[in-house]
Structures are given as structure tokens and as C-alpha cells.
């Protein structure tokens, strides 16, 4: 029972990470209708930026998060202006297909650049509190992963507040629902697309900080995290910001329990099984609305 409880807690905490990565991916897809499979490479980039700020500048990883967000936000602006602004001119089906092709190419480019500048070695950030944990009886709750979950929840709430309570947030929601009507209403959809994609990249960068802290970062980690984010987006359903964190935690919980009851080799099978089951039974997702 102790092992089950420990695995469940670890799964929930890791699931918060899944939800945070899915947050940016869902924003880009929901607003621009582009599927950026290079999202995980932006996570990887955020991890390397954090490693540089900690190793060279001496900044605490959590204090580096605003700088990492700004840096990856800027990368998102650059990628949109150079690549994705040409994709959003097409109809939705063509956007999805072209964005897949472009972002797969971007995956290869960013991985090659990361190997060139950072080598293929895994890098992790070690701090004084890396092994710190809250202990209840014999159950340990690692401080870093608990803090990561709190960061994920805070960013989810912040993004929801931005969408619900600001004029620009209303413009984002209007553009995501019908870009043509939004344009007729006087909304600058090009600006909305640019900022939404850049925010998506910034959120990925912050997730990269947490991954560098709790796991490790290397040029090849991107696609694995992108796959987890895609599964969470399908589980939650589009249009549910709060549901992404919950869906991520449910996925992490399922993986944690599966590793205990079935063995570690079945973690990925459980994740993909949940993905397929939701697609078949409830294609709008657990928290999404039926079209």
C-alpha cells in the first residue's frame, strides 16, 4: 500500500508537468489551428536557457523562470514571423497538414542546433533543495515536483484570467472561435496569432525549467514530451484550460499506478490506451464541449 500511495503521488506531481506542457500546445492549436510538434523542442530550449542562467549567472532556477519565459517568448515571435505566419493564411485542414510538415522539419533543425551548441550529453540542475521533500510517515513528496505542480496551476489560472478578464483575452477567444467574424469585428487577427503563439512558446520554456530541475535535458527529449502533451490535450478537450492540468494529473496517476500493478514497461501503453479510449468514447475530451 505504501508503494501504491507513493507511486500515485509521484504520478500526480509529474502529471502537473504534462498539463503545463499541454497548456502551450493547446493554446497554439486552439487559436491558430496549427499543430506544432516542435513544441517539445521549445521545452528543451527552455531547459538549456535555465541551465545557462544557473551555471553561468548563478541565478536560482525558480527566479530564472520569468527570464526563460521572455527568452522563449522571443523565440516564439521569431518562429511565427519566419514560418507559421505563412501557414495561417490557408484553410484549417491545410493549416494542420502544413504545420505538421513544417514543425517536423523544425524538430530536426532545433535538435541539430542543440547538439552543435550543447553537445548530446544530458544536463541536469542540482540545487541545495534538489533532494528536499515533505515527509508524511514514510511517504515523500519531493519539493521540486510539488513546486512544479503549483507553478503549473498558477500559470493555468493566470492564462484563464487573461482570456476571461482582458480585452486582448476576449480577442483571442473570438479569433479561436471564428477568425473571419473576429476580423470583421475589427480584431487584428495577425497580432492575436503572433502573441498567442509566442505565449505558447513561453509556457513551453517555463516547463523546460521544471524538467531541467526534476529530470534532465538533452537535445532528444522534445518528441517524448510533445507526445505526452498531445495525449493530455485529447484527454482534456479543446477549450478547457483548467481541464488540461486535471487531465495531465489523471494521466500521470494512471501511469504511476500502472507501473506498480503492471510493471514500468506498461506506463506508455496505459497512456496510449487512454488516448485511444477517449478518442473512441468521448472525442470532445473529458472537459471539452461537443461541437
Q: Which domains does the chain have, with CATH numbers?
A: 2-281 (1.10.3470)
CA separation for the pair 233, 227 (Å, rounded): 10
The per-residue pLDDT for range 149-160, each reduced to its tens digit, is: 999 999 999 999
Other C-beta atoms closer than 10 Å to the C-beta of 29 total: 21
Residue 274 reports pLDDT greater than 90: no
pTM: 0.92
The per-residue pLDDT for range 50-97, each reduced to its tens digit, is: 999 998 888 999 999 999 999 999 999 999 999 999 998 888 889 999
Secondary structure E strands in the chain:
133-136, 139-142
Judge whether 242 and 282 are in contact, CB under 8 Å: no
Amino acid at each position: 500500500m505504501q508503494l501504491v500511495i507513493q507511486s500515485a503521488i509521484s504520478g500526480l506531481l509529474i502529471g502537473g508537468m504534462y498539463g503545463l506542457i499541454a497548456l502551450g500546445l493547446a493554446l497554439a492549436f486552439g487559436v491558430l489551428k496549427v499543430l506544432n510538434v516542435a513544441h517539445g523542442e521549445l521545452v528543451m530550449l527552455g531547459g538549456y536557457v535555465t541551465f545557462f542562467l544557473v551555471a553561468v549567472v548563478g541565478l536560482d532556477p525558480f527566479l530564472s523562470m520569468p527570464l526563460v519565459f521572455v527568452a522563449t517568448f522571443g523565440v516564439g515571435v521569431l518562429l511565427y514571423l519566419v514560418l507559421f505566419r505563412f501557414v495561417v493564411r490557408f484553410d484549417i485542414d491545410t493549416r494542420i497538414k502544413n504545420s505538421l510538415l513544417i514543425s517536423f522539419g523544425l524538430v530536426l533543425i532545433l535538435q541539430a542546433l542543440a547538439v552543435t551548441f550543447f553537445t548530446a550529453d544530458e544536463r541536469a540542475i542540482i540545487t541545495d533543495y534538489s533532494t528536499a521533500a515533505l515527509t508524511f510517515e514514510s511517504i515523500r513528496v519531493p519539493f521540486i515536483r510539488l513546486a512544479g505542480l503549483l507553478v503549473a496551476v498558477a500559470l493555468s489560472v493566470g492564462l484563464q484570467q487573461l482570456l476571461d478578464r482582458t480585452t486582448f483575452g476576449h480577442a483571442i477567444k473570438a479569433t479561436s472561435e471564428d477568425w473571419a467574424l473576429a476580423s470583421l469585428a475589427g480584431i487584428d487577427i495577425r497580432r492575436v496569432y503572433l502573441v498567442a503563439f509566442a505565449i505558447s512558446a513561453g509556457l513551453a520554456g517555463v516547463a523546460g525549467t521544471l524538467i531541467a530541475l526534476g529530470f534532465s535535458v538533452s537535445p532528444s527529449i522534445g518528441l517524448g514530451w510533445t507526445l505526452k502533451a498531445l495525449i493530455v490535450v485529447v484527454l482534456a478537450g479543446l477549450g478547457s484550460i483548467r481541464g488540461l492540468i486535471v487531465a495531465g494529473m489523471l494521466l500521470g496517476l494512471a501511469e504511476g499506478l500502472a507501473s506498480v500493478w503492471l510493471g514500468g514497461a506498461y506506463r506508455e501503453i496505459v497512456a496510449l490506451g487512454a488516448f485511444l479510449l477517449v478518442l473512441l468514447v468521448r472525442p470532445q475530451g473529458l472537459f471539452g464541449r461537443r461541437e
